[in-house]
Amino acid sequence: MTYIAPEPVSGLAAFDWYLALVLAGAQLHGFDREAIAEFRAVPWQADPTPDRPGRVAALSALAAHGITDPVAFLQQDHHPV
């Protein structure tokens, strides 16, 4: 299942945990360097709701694959907005 926003809103940044989850999945599934670079170029921000259920689940999934700090994972080649 894929979510497609009915009306994309420009100027928004992905939450750090969400982008880390997408990037980790892309790397795990062997996406090419160009695709990885495109994900790394996406602007991101910290989630202001630390107990958001999706965030909690994503952090658990990331930790299960050795990524305990999604911000550090993203900052390897990219910086937040």
At residue 77, the pLDDT reads: 61
> In which domain, by residue range, is 47 found?
14-74
Q: Which structure tokens are listed for 30?
A: 């062997």
Separation between Cα atoms, residue 75 and residue 44, nearest integer Å: 10
At residue 78, the pLDDT reads: 53
Tens digit of pLDDT at every position of the chain (81 positions): 777 778 878 888 999 999 999 999 999 999 999 999 999 999 999 999 999 999 999 999 999 999 999 999 998 865 444
Does residue 81 fall inside a structural domain?
no
Does residue 56 fall inside a structural domain?
yes
Does residue 66 fall inside a structural domain?
yes
pTM of the model: 0.83
Does residue 5 fall inside a structural domain?
no
Does residue 4 fall inside a structural domain?
no
Separation between Cα atoms, residue 3 and residue 15, nearest integer Å: 16
Does residue 39 fall inside a structural domain?
yes
Identity of residue 60: S
Contact 17, 70 (CB under 8 A): yes
At residue 9, the pLDDT reads: 80
Does residue 53 fall inside a structural domain?
yes
Number of domains observed in the structure of the chain: 1
